[in-house]
Amino acid sequence: MRVVVDHVSKTYTDRGGRSVDALRDVAFTVEAEEFVALLGPSGCGKSTLLNVIAGLLAPTRGGVWFDGARADGARGANARALSAMVFQEFALFPWRTAQKNIEFGLEEAGVPAAERATRARHYIELTGLAGFETRYPHQLSGGMRQRVGIARALAVEPAVLLMDEPFSALDAQTRQLMQEELLGIWDRTRKTILYVTHNIQEAVYMADRVIVLSRRPGEVLADVPIELERPRTEQMAGEPAFVQAAERIWGLIKAQAWAAIAE
C-alpha cells in the first residue's frame, strides 16, 4: 500500500491570533515496503506532518491517501490499522505492563483476549521483549521501553509505521543498537516506514529515500535516494555513496540550521 501526501498545508493560529504556516504544499509518496526518512531542521513541521498522516491533526489544505486501502477504512475484521505511531517520548501507559501496553490498540479494535495475547506474544518475540512482559514501563530501560512502543505499533498491523524521532531520547550507544534492531525488524516484516529524524547520519544509514524539509513553513527541499545496499552495516558510513548523500543533505539544511540557532 502506498501513502500519498497530497499537497498538504497546515496553518496554525498562535496565541496572539497570528497565523503561522507550519507546512506549505508538501507532496510526496511512500511506496509499499519502503523505508523513507523525513528530515529537516528543528521547527520544520516534521511532527506536524506525521500527525496529519496519522489522522491526529486536520490539514488546512490538501490530504493524505492510502492507495489500495480497503473500502471500509481504517479497521477491517482483522483489525488492521492504516497507520500506527511510535512516539519520541515512548508514550507508554505507566499503569500497564509491557504486554498490556502492546495489547492496547488491539483492545480498542475489539480483538478478543485470547487473540490479543497471541498477537502480542508474536511481537514481543520479534522486538526482543521476551521475559519483560510483566514489567511496568518504569521498570524498563529506555531501549526496552521503545521496543514496547514499536511492538505496540506493529501489533495493530498498520499499513504504514509512523516513527517520530523514536530513538532521540536514548543515549548514543543504545540508539546505535536500536537502529540496527529496527532495520532487522523492518527486514523481517517489510513494513512501510515513515521515519522522522533530524539526524542526517541516522537518516542515511536507515532509509531508502530521505525527504528533506525546509524550516518553517515546511516545504520539500529535496528527495534524496540513498544508493546503499541492504542489509546496511555500520561500516557503510565510510562509503562514498553514504558520505555524498550526507553532505548533500547537510548542504541543503546547513543555512537553515544556522538560522534556527539564531532565532
- H/E/C letters for each residue in 110-133? CCCHHHHHHHHHHHHHHCCCCCCC
Binding region for another protein (CB under 8 A) out of 63-71, 87-95, 167-175, 235-243: 87-95
Binding region for another protein (CB under 8 A) out of 101-109, 115-123, 220-228, 237-245: 101-109
Cell, residue 220 = 520539500
Interaction pattern, residues 127-156, with another protein; x per rule: CB under 8 A? ---------x-x-------------x---x
Smallest gap from Cβ 9 to another protein, in A, equals: 22
Q: Which of residues 52-71 bind another protein (CB under 8 A)?
A: 54, 56
β-pairing, 61-67 vs 2-13, is antiparallel
| Residue 87 near another protein by CB under 8 A | yes
Nearest CA-CA partner of 105 in 129, 136, 92, 95? 92
Smallest gap from Cβ 106 to another protein, in A, equals: 9
For 42, 106, 170, 218, 243, the CA distances from 23, given in Å and listed in that order, are 13, 32, 28, 4, 29
Contact (Cβ atoms closer than 8 angstroms) between residue 10 and residue 167: no
| Residue 12 near another protein by CB under 8 A | no
Binding region for another protein (CB under 8 A) out of 8-16, 64-72, 81-89, 217-225: 81-89
Smallest gap from Cβ 201 to another protein, in A, equals: 27
**Alpha carbon distance 75, 79 (integer Å):** 5
Q: Classify residue 17 by its DSSP letter.
A: S
Binding site for another protein (CB under 8 A): 54, 56, 74-75, 81, 84-85, 87, 89, 91-96, 104-105, 108-109, 136, 138, 152, 156
